[in-house]
């Protein structure tokens, strides 16, 4: 897997002494990001075979929880998870959107 062909989403959990990260990689061709007011809408398209795993990953996030994503190895964007849309299944693929809000830099 070439990192520059993927968007890698990251969920941090655990505690300070034992931090852990759960990652999900999605082919760059299946991710479109749009800015809308104060938020970003991330449209995700995956093969039907991957849709359950992908949805389960995003359903683990609580509203207001931190989420990071890295687009093609450009560095992590730190955001706040704001929600997920219902899945739309078409012939060979599934699509849905997540909404995130960029985190304000901490001083």
Pairwise CA distance, residues 41 & 33, whole Å: 6
- At residue 14, the pLDDT reads 75
Question: Maximum Cα–Cα distance for the chain, whole Å?
Answer: 48
- At residue 105, the pLDDT reads 67
- At residue 3, the pLDDT reads 58
List the beta bridge partners of residue 35: 40
- At residue 24, the pLDDT reads 95
The tens-digit pLDDT sequence of the chain (107 residues) is 555 799 999 998 877 788 888 999 999 999 999 998 889 999 999 999 999 999 999 999 999 999 999 999 898 899 999 999 999 999 899 999 999 998 876 65
Contact 77, 71 (CB under 8 A): yes
**CA 68, 58, 31, 88: dihedral to nearest 10 degrees?**
-160
């Amino acid at each position: 897997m070439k990192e520059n062909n993927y968007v890698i989403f990251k969920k941090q959990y655990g505690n300070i002494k034992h931090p852990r990260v759960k990652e999900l990689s999605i082919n760059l061709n299946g991710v479109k990001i749009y800015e809308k007011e104060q938020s970003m809408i991330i449209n995700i398209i995956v093969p039907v075979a991957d849709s359950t795993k992908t949805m389960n990953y995003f359903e683990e996030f609580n509203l207001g929880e931190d989420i990071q994503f890295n687009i093609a190895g450009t560095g992590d964007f730190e955001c706040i998870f704001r929600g997920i849309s219902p899945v739309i299944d078409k012939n060979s693929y599934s699509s849905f959107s997540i909404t995130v809000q960029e985190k304000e830099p901490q001083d």
